[in-house]
Amino acid sequence: MGVEVIAGAPNIVRGGSHSGNVAAADLVRQGAVDALASDYVPAALVEAAWRCVTETGLTLPQAVAMVTDRPARMALLPDRGRIEAGLQADLVQIRTHEGLPVVRRVWRAGERVA
């Protein structure tokens, strides 16, 4: 129908909706989700991307794009969301610890900030 769909990252982390609605991972498996977002647990974005890889069959680049490139394009910000020459580049280094992703370093505009 041409409608872009955003699902909640916390829904994926929890394994389903906290209010009994559809499980976002099921929608991701069906190819019905374009992007993931979180208004109340921002850290869930990283874990949701990891879970999409292990639980839905997405590749890591596909899952990361759901929390970076696709939301940027939806917000009409085509100059960010992916690593490409000439674009704004904020980067996050992630390492897994006991199967969970942990943010180790962050760069903003090319400078390390964390």
Q: Which two tokens stand for residue 20?
A: 């009994």
Instruction: Please give the model's pTM, rounded to 2 decimal places.
Output: 0.88
- Asked, for residue 101, whether it belongs to a domain, the answer is yes
77-91 confidence digits (pLDDT tens): 999 999 998 898 789
Domain count, the chain: 1
- Asked, for residue 1, whether it belongs to a domain, the answer is no
Q: Which two tokens stand for residue 102?
A: 């942990």
39-50 confidence digits (pLDDT tens): 889 999 999 999
Q: Quote the domain boundaries for residue 75.
A: 6-112
For residue 95, what pLDDT is reported? 95
Q: Which of 36, 102, 93 is nearest to 70 (CA)?
A: 36
- Asked, for residue 66, whether it belongs to a domain, the answer is yes
